Protein backbone atom coordinates (compact mmCIF):
# COMPACT_ATOMS: atom_id res chain seq x y z
CA UNK A 1 0.00 0.00 0.00
CA UNK A 2 1.48 3.28 -1.10
CA UNK A 3 1.60 5.99 1.56
CA UNK A 4 0.86 9.60 0.64
CA UNK A 5 2.58 11.15 3.70
CA UNK A 6 -0.13 13.84 3.63
CA UNK A 7 -1.13 14.98 7.09
CA UNK A 8 -4.91 14.69 7.73
CA UNK A 9 -5.27 18.45 8.15
CA UNK A 10 -4.03 18.80 4.56
CA UNK A 11 -6.16 16.03 3.12
CA UNK A 12 -8.48 17.98 0.82
CA UNK A 13 -11.85 16.53 -0.10
CA UNK A 14 -14.11 17.81 -2.89
CA UNK A 15 -17.35 19.48 -1.85
CA UNK A 16 -20.20 21.07 -3.77
CA UNK A 17 -19.65 24.72 -4.65
CA UNK A 18 -23.20 25.37 -3.45
CA UNK A 19 -21.98 24.85 0.13
CA UNK A 20 -20.88 28.48 -0.02
CA UNK A 21 -23.59 30.84 -1.26
CA UNK A 22 -21.43 33.96 -1.05
CA UNK A 23 -20.62 35.17 -4.56
CA UNK A 24 -17.19 36.76 -5.03
CA UNK A 25 -15.92 38.81 -7.93
CA UNK A 26 -12.61 38.26 -9.66
CA UNK A 27 -10.40 40.12 -12.14
CA UNK A 28 -12.10 38.27 -14.98
CA UNK A 29 -15.64 38.88 -13.72
CA UNK A 30 -18.05 36.81 -11.68
CA UNK A 31 -21.17 34.72 -12.01
CA UNK A 32 -23.29 37.20 -10.03
CA UNK A 33 -27.00 36.79 -10.74
CA UNK A 34 -28.51 39.31 -13.13
CA UNK A 35 -31.49 41.10 -11.56
CA UNK A 36 -34.21 43.38 -12.89
CA UNK A 37 -33.85 47.13 -12.49
CA UNK A 38 -37.01 47.55 -10.42
CA UNK A 39 -39.30 45.45 -8.25
CA UNK A 40 -42.90 46.58 -7.80
CA UNK A 41 -44.57 44.62 -5.01
CA UNK A 42 -48.23 45.15 -5.71
CA UNK A 43 -50.86 42.40 -5.86
CA UNK A 44 -49.14 39.85 -8.08
CA UNK A 45 -49.32 36.09 -7.78
CA UNK A 46 -46.34 33.91 -8.67
CA UNK A 47 -46.89 30.21 -9.29
CA UNK A 48 -44.24 27.51 -9.18
CA UNK A 49 -43.90 23.75 -8.88
CA UNK A 50 -41.46 21.73 -6.84
CA UNK A 51 -40.99 18.42 -5.06
CA UNK A 52 -42.32 18.10 -1.51
CA UNK A 53 -38.67 18.40 -0.43
CA UNK A 54 -38.49 21.91 -1.89
CA UNK A 55 -36.18 20.79 -4.72
CA UNK A 56 -36.84 21.63 -8.36
CA UNK A 57 -35.39 18.83 -10.45
CA UNK A 58 -37.70 17.92 -13.34
CA UNK A 59 -40.43 20.41 -14.23
CA UNK A 60 -42.43 18.02 -16.40
CA UNK A 61 -42.96 15.58 -13.52
CA UNK A 62 -43.44 18.31 -10.94
CA UNK A 63 -46.38 19.72 -12.91
CA UNK A 64 -48.39 16.78 -11.57
CA UNK A 65 -47.84 17.97 -8.00
CA UNK A 66 -49.88 20.71 -6.28
CA UNK A 67 -48.76 24.15 -7.38
CA UNK A 68 -47.33 26.66 -4.92
CA UNK A 69 -48.86 30.14 -5.07
CA UNK A 70 -47.02 33.16 -3.74
CA UNK A 71 -49.42 36.02 -3.03
CA UNK A 72 -47.75 39.44 -2.77
CA UNK A 73 -50.84 40.83 -1.02
CA UNK A 74 -50.54 38.26 1.77
CA UNK A 75 -46.78 38.81 1.99
CA UNK A 76 -47.40 42.48 2.79
CA UNK A 77 -50.29 41.72 5.13
CA UNK A 78 -48.26 39.31 7.27
CA UNK A 79 -45.28 41.68 7.44
CA UNK A 80 -46.78 44.87 8.81
CA UNK A 81 -48.47 46.10 11.98
CA UNK A 82 -50.80 49.00 12.70
CA UNK A 83 -51.62 50.54 16.07
CA UNK A 84 -53.05 53.70 17.56
CA UNK A 85 -50.49 56.18 18.84
CA UNK A 86 -50.67 55.81 22.65
CA UNK A 87 -49.40 59.33 23.26
CA UNK A 88 -52.17 61.26 21.53
CA UNK A 89 -54.89 63.05 23.48
CA UNK A 90 -58.37 61.58 23.92
CA UNK A 91 -59.72 64.36 21.72
CA UNK A 92 -57.33 63.48 18.90
CA UNK A 93 -58.07 59.80 19.34
CA UNK A 94 -61.78 60.42 18.78
CA UNK A 95 -61.25 62.80 15.88
CA UNK A 96 -58.08 62.89 13.77
CA UNK A 97 -56.80 59.61 15.18
CA UNK A 98 -53.09 59.08 14.68
CA UNK A 99 -51.96 55.64 13.52
CA UNK A 100 -48.47 54.16 13.53
CA UNK A 101 -47.71 51.58 10.86
CA UNK A 102 -44.53 49.52 10.66
CA UNK A 103 -43.83 47.66 7.43
CA UNK A 104 -41.05 45.07 7.40
CA UNK A 105 -39.84 45.97 3.93
CA UNK A 106 -36.73 43.77 3.97
CA UNK A 107 -38.75 40.65 4.83
CA UNK A 108 -41.30 41.52 2.15
CA UNK A 109 -38.54 42.04 -0.42
CA UNK A 110 -36.77 38.82 0.58
CA UNK A 111 -39.93 36.73 0.25
CA UNK A 112 -40.74 38.31 -3.11
CA UNK A 113 -37.27 37.58 -4.51
CA UNK A 114 -37.45 34.01 -3.22
CA UNK A 115 -40.77 33.39 -4.99
CA UNK A 116 -39.41 34.97 -8.17
CA UNK A 117 -36.39 32.64 -8.16
CA UNK A 118 -38.68 29.67 -7.61
CA UNK A 119 -40.96 30.81 -10.42
CA UNK A 120 -37.98 31.18 -12.79
CA UNK A 121 -36.49 27.87 -11.53
CA UNK A 122 -33.16 29.63 -11.03
CA UNK A 123 -31.82 26.91 -8.75
CA UNK A 124 -33.18 23.98 -10.75
CA UNK A 125 -31.06 20.88 -10.22
CA UNK A 126 -29.84 21.88 -6.78
CA UNK A 127 -30.51 19.08 -4.29
CA UNK A 128 -30.82 19.30 -0.52
CA UNK A 129 -27.63 17.31 0.09
CA UNK A 130 -25.72 19.77 -2.08
CA UNK A 131 -26.22 22.58 0.47
CA UNK A 132 -24.58 23.18 3.82
CA UNK A 133 -28.05 23.69 5.32
CA UNK A 134 -29.42 20.35 4.14
CA UNK A 135 -32.26 22.18 2.41
CA UNK A 136 -32.61 24.08 -0.86
CA UNK A 137 -34.99 26.70 0.53
CA UNK A 138 -32.63 27.69 3.34
CA UNK A 139 -29.75 27.84 0.87
CA UNK A 140 -31.77 30.10 -1.44
CA UNK A 141 -32.59 32.50 1.39
CA UNK A 142 -28.90 32.53 2.32
CA UNK A 143 -28.01 33.37 -1.28
CA UNK A 144 -30.58 36.19 -1.34
CA UNK A 145 -29.31 37.62 1.96
CA UNK A 146 -25.67 37.55 0.89
CA UNK A 147 -25.89 38.58 -2.77
CA UNK A 148 -29.20 40.06 -3.86
CA UNK A 149 -31.16 41.94 -1.22
CA UNK A 150 -28.49 44.60 -0.65
CA UNK A 151 -28.58 45.44 -4.36
CA UNK A 152 -32.07 46.93 -4.02
CA UNK A 153 -33.11 50.14 -2.34
CA UNK A 154 -36.55 51.26 -1.21
CA UNK A 155 -37.98 53.97 -3.49
CA UNK A 156 -41.55 54.73 -2.43
CA UNK A 157 -44.84 53.47 -1.05
CA UNK A 158 -48.33 54.02 -2.44
CA UNK A 159 -50.89 54.13 0.37
CA UNK A 160 -54.65 53.80 -0.19
CA UNK A 161 -57.49 54.67 2.19
CA UNK A 162 -61.25 54.20 1.88
CA UNK A 163 -63.37 55.34 4.84
CA UNK A 164 -66.16 53.23 6.35
CA UNK A 165 -69.18 54.85 7.98
CA UNK A 166 -69.77 53.19 11.36
CA UNK A 167 -73.46 54.16 11.32
CA UNK A 168 -73.59 54.25 15.12
CA UNK A 169 -72.00 50.82 15.53
CA UNK A 170 -69.24 51.59 18.02
CA UNK A 171 -68.06 47.98 18.07
CA UNK A 172 -66.31 48.61 14.74
CA UNK A 173 -64.47 51.69 15.93
CA UNK A 174 -60.69 51.49 15.37
CA UNK A 175 -61.11 48.22 13.49
CA UNK A 176 -59.47 48.99 10.19
CA UNK A 177 -59.47 46.50 7.33
CA UNK A 178 -56.57 45.58 5.04
CA UNK A 179 -58.17 45.21 1.60
CA UNK A 180 -56.49 45.20 -1.82
CA UNK A 181 -59.82 45.84 -3.54
CA UNK A 182 -59.75 49.53 -2.63
CA UNK A 183 -56.66 50.30 -4.71
CA UNK A 184 -57.45 53.13 -7.13
CA UNK A 185 -56.40 56.64 -8.05
CA UNK A 186 -59.25 58.06 -5.98
CA UNK A 187 -58.26 56.27 -2.76
CA UNK A 188 -54.53 56.96 -3.02
CA UNK A 189 -53.35 59.43 -0.38
CA UNK A 190 -50.13 61.37 0.08
CA UNK A 191 -51.07 62.51 3.57
CA UNK A 192 -48.67 60.19 5.35
CA UNK A 193 -45.31 60.62 7.01
CA UNK A 194 -42.69 57.98 6.32
CA UNK A 195 -39.21 57.11 7.56
CA UNK A 196 -36.99 54.21 6.53
CA UNK A 197 -34.62 52.59 9.01
CA UNK A 198 -30.91 53.10 8.31
CA UNK A 199 -30.44 49.47 7.32
CA UNK A 200 -33.68 49.52 5.29
CA UNK A 201 -35.14 46.75 7.42
CA UNK A 202 -38.45 48.48 8.05
CA UNK A 203 -40.52 51.49 7.04
CA UNK A 204 -42.46 53.50 9.63
CA UNK A 205 -45.58 55.42 8.57
CA UNK A 206 -47.66 57.96 10.45
CA UNK A 207 -51.23 58.37 9.23
CA UNK A 208 -53.96 60.63 10.62
CA UNK A 209 -57.60 60.01 9.85
CA UNK A 210 -59.19 62.80 7.85
CA UNK A 211 -62.65 61.75 9.00
CA UNK A 212 -63.40 61.57 12.76
CA UNK A 213 -62.65 58.22 14.35
CA UNK A 214 -65.82 58.30 16.46
CA UNK A 215 -67.87 57.93 13.26
CA UNK A 216 -65.49 56.36 10.74
CA UNK A 217 -63.06 53.48 10.42
CA UNK A 218 -61.32 52.70 7.15
CA UNK A 219 -60.00 50.15 4.72
CA UNK A 220 -56.39 50.49 3.62
CA UNK A 221 -53.83 48.96 1.30
CA UNK A 222 -50.30 49.70 0.12
CA UNK A 223 -47.81 48.90 -2.61
CA UNK A 224 -44.03 49.06 -2.22
CA UNK A 225 -41.43 49.88 -4.86
CA UNK A 226 -37.71 49.06 -5.01
CA UNK A 227 -34.97 49.86 -7.51
CA UNK A 228 -31.58 48.35 -8.22
CA UNK A 229 -28.78 50.38 -6.66
Residue 75 lies inside a defined structural domain of this protein: yes
| SS3 per-residue string spanning 16-57 | CHHHCCCCCCECCECCCCCCCCEEEECCCEEEECCCCCCCCC
- What is the chain's mean pLDDT, rounded? 90
Q: What is the pLDDT of residues 97-151, one digit of tens each?
A: 999 999 999 999 999 999 999 999 999 999 999 998 889 999 999 999 999 999 9
pLDDT value for 35 = 86
Residue 29 pLDDT > 90: no
Whether residue 89 is contained in a domain is answered as: yes
Q: Is residue 22 part of a domain?
A: no
Q: Is the dihedral of CA 205, 210, 212, 218 positive or negative?
A: negative
Read off the pLDDT band of 86 (50, 70, 90): very high
21 in any annotated domain? no
Cα 71 from Cα 47, distance rounded (Å): 9
Domain count, the chain: 1
Domain housing 210: 37-228
pLDDT in tens, 10-27: 555 555 555 465 666 554
pLDDT surpasses 70 at 96: yes
18 located within any domain = no
Position 19 in a domain: no
List the end-to-end C-alpha distance of the chain, in Å, as a whole number: 58
1 occurs within a structural domain: no
Q: What angle do helix axes 136-143 and 105-119 make, rounded to 10 degrees?
A: 120
Average pLDDT, stretch 53-69?
97
Q: Is residue 212 part of a domain?
A: yes
Amino acid sequence: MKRTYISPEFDYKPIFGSFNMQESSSFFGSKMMEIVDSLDIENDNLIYHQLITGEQIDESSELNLPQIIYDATLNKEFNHTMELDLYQSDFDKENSAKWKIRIEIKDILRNHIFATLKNKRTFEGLRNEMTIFGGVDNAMFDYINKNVISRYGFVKIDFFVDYLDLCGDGTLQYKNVYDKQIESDTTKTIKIESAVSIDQTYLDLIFRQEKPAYAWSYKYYFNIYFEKL
